[in-house]
Amino acid sequence: MNKQIPDGEGEMGPVARLSEVPAAALVSAVRFSSAHRLTMSVVALAATLVVGVVYLTFGVFHLSPISSKITVRVHFSISGGLLPQQEVMLRGVPVGKVNSVELTDSGVVAVAEIDGGVEIPLGGEVRVAGLSMAGEQYLDFRPTTDSGPYLVDGSEISSDETSTPVPLASMLGNLDGMLAQIDPAELEMIVAELGVGPEGPKKLSAILDGGAFLVSTLDSVLPQTATLLRSSKVLLGTLGDSGPGLRSTASNLSELLLGVEAKDTGLREFLDGTPSTLKSIDALIADNSPTMVQLLGNLTTVAQMAYLNVPALQEFFVPTYRQGSTLEALTSVFHDGGIWAFVNIYPRYSCDYDLPRLPATVPDFPEPYLYTYCDNEDPSVLVRGARNAPRQPGDDTAGPPAGVAPDTRASPTPIGPQSIPLPYGGPDLEQSPPG
């Protein structure tokens, strides 16, 4: 018995019609793949090969046909184990490769290819470092700043700005020299002492821990230590070059100290008498303390006058406008066992100072006049007078100051506890003079 389908129930809905297209495509693709299995295998292998090549080119070898490169030549005194195709790093980050390592007359040159988009500042240190004790060297740029100027294509870095690790041969040679200084008998004694008691392993562990701490501390100040060693090399070399002079100085110093030792008794007497001398000086200052201020004021005046007359004093002792000097003239009078001098009997002009004359018979001890200047300005009659003495430029002390009284006298002499009174007629004597 056939069932009759109602009108409208055999038609598909919109969702079924949308899914029919991809389902039909998928069925067709499966049928095509099943019918052409060999062709699909070849296509899949080719696609895998292309993906692998692209990954190796861009992901592993970092090759980019559109990226730019710059070439930098880095000079080293030794290669330090650096080889071509090793990494170039900027503070540990890969930025290029070492293209080649070439020999030069003064060492080697590492030609580095660096990504053009990386800005590496000039300055700082360029070193050959290793990833491990087994080697794996790389070229590491460590600039001290992040600002320009930067490395450009064709830049060269001198060997003064580069460093390399200590070669293994040099390290072994230095280690051999260090081990040669160790006495095997003493080392055996140390080992024996460490094994005597139960505390030996702990002591050895403490020694090793201390050594590790010392090495780590020195490593933290490695640049300063290297600078100190280089400076010490220059200093010790200079001392070595000065060896003959130092030996001569030591010999002279030995003679000097021997002389001082010979004068030991006199030096001890001098030092023993020093306290009493200082006490006497202190007592002298204490006795004159009431007049010390006035005395210092007078000394200031003397210093000012001496400064103004420095040219005159220089001409007096070390003349520049004439031959000889006063000291030479004084020493020249003593020769041939006698004192020799010339006397000029011709009268000389004497200046009449326009000041009142005091009788010499009046014992009143007056203070001297301050402004005793000769009124005659003719230099021919007073060649050696104060008016014609050499002076500083602009000095007007050849005459009295303006507005002063010509007969002005000096300030009274300061009187202290130890001063001798000068009354009219002279001081009173404790003892009468012999009749």
Whether residues 76 and 155 share a domain: the answer is yes
Residue 175 reports pLDDT greater than 80: yes
Q: What per-residue confidence (pLDDT) applies to 42?
A: 82
Residue 406 counted as domain residue = no
Structure confidence by residue, pLDDT tens digits, 264-276:
888 888 888 888 9
At residue 150, the 3 state secondary structure works out as strand
Residue 11 reports pLDDT greater than 70: no
- State how far the Cα of 155 lies from the Cα of 71, in Å rounded to an integer: 7
Instruction: Specify the length of the chain in residues.
Output: 435
Q: What per-residue confidence (pLDDT) applies to 73?
A: 92
Structure confidence by residue, pLDDT tens digits, 104-117:
888 899 999 988 88
Whether residues 60 and 75 share a domain: the answer is no
Residue 222 counted as domain residue = no
Whether residues 46 and 138 share a domain: the answer is no
Pairing relationship of beta strands 69-76 and 108-115 according to DSSP bridges? antiparallel
Residue 407 counted as domain residue = no
Whether residues 128 and 158 share a domain: the answer is yes
- Domain C-terminal end among 137, 170, 203: 170
Q: What per-residue confidence (pLDDT) applies to 1?
A: 47
Residue 202 reports pLDDT greater than 70: yes
* Side-chain-facing half-sphere of 90: CA atoms under 13 Å: 19
Residue 199 counted as domain residue = no
Q: What per-residue confidence (pLDDT) applies to 173?
A: 82
Q: In the structure encoding, which two tokens stand for residue 350, read together?
A: 């004497």
- Domain C-terminal end among 257, 287, 317: 287
Whether residues 58 and 127 share a domain: the answer is no
Buried b (16+ CB within 10 A) or exposed e, 144-153: eeeeeeebee
* Side-chain-facing half-sphere of 304: CA atoms under 13 Å: 8
Q: What per-residue confidence (pLDDT) applies to 40?
A: 78
Range of the domain at 353: 291-388
Structure confidence by residue, pLDDT tens digits, 362-400:
777 788 888 887 777 776 666 666 677 777 777 777 778
Q: What per-residue confidence (pLDDT) applies to 8?
A: 47
Q: Which residues lie below 8 Å from residue 151, measured CB to CB, with a gap of 6+? A: 70, 72, 114, 120, 121, 122
Most confident of 102-106, 134-138, 173-177, 417-421: 102-106
Q: What per-residue confidence (pLDDT) applies to 67?
A: 65
Whether residues 95 and 151 share a domain: the answer is yes
Residue 414 counted as domain residue = no
pTM of the predicted protein model: 0.34
Alpha-carbon distance values, 285 to 10, 46, 214, 414, 416 (Å): 141, 115, 62, 14, 11
Extended beta strands in 156-198, E state: 156-157, 162-163
Specify the number of domains making up the chain: 4
Residue 205 counted as domain residue = no
50/20: higher pLDDT: 50
Residue 421 counted as domain residue = no
Residue 10 reports pLDDT greater than 60: no
Residue 87 reports pLDDT greater than 80: yes
Mean pLDDT of 214-239: 82
Structure confidence by residue, pLDDT tens digits, 51-76:
888 877 776 666 666 667 889 999 99
Nearest Cα residue to 369 out of 358, 380, 383 = 358
Beta bridge partners of 141: 90, 126
Choice among 102-116, 127-141, 191-205, 245-259 with the minimum mean pLDDT: 191-205
pLDDT-derived band at 25 (thresholds 50, 70, 90) equals: confident
- State how far the Cα of 60 lies from the Cα of 51, in Å rounded to an integer: 13
- Domain C-terminal end among 373, 388, 403: 388
- DSSP characters for 264-291? HHHHHHHHHHHHHHHHHHHHHHHHTHHH
At residue 99, the 3 state secondary structure works out as strand
Residue 215 counted as domain residue = no
Structure confidence by residue, pLDDT tens digits, 286-330:
877 777 777 777 888 888 888 877 877 777 777 777 677 777 777
Q: What per-residue confidence (pLDDT) applies to 65?
A: 63
Q: Which residues lie below 8 Å from residue 150, measured CB to CB, with a gap of 6+? A: 119, 120, 121, 122
**Is the omega angle on the peptide bond into residue 412 within 30 degrees of 0, that is, cis?**
no
Q: What are phi and psi for residue 98, nearest 5 degrees?
A: -85, 115
228/417: higher pLDDT: 228
Q: In the structure encoding, which two tokens stand for residue 146, read together?
A: 């992040």
Whether residues 97 and 163 share a domain: the answer is yes
pLDDT-derived band at 425 (thresholds 50, 70, 90) equals: low
Whether residues 310 and 371 share a domain: the answer is yes
Q: How many helices (DSSP H) and strands (DSSP E) are in the chain?
A: 11, 10
- State how far the Cα of 42 lies from the Cα of 36, in Å rounded to an integer: 10
Whether residues 272 and 362 share a domain: the answer is no
203/140: higher pLDDT: 140
Alpha-carbon distance values, 208 to 202, 214, 293, 347 (Å): 10, 10, 74, 103
Whether residues 254 and 164 share a domain: the answer is no
Distance of CA 434 to the CA centre of its chain: 78
Nearest Cα residue to 74 out of 112, 123, 114 = 112
10/373: higher pLDDT: 373
Whether residues 279 and 310 share a domain: the answer is no
Buried b (16+ CB within 10 A) or exposed e, 385-401: eebebbbeeeeeeeeee
Whether residues 296 and 381 share a domain: the answer is yes
DSSP 8-state secondary structure symbol assigned to residue 357: P
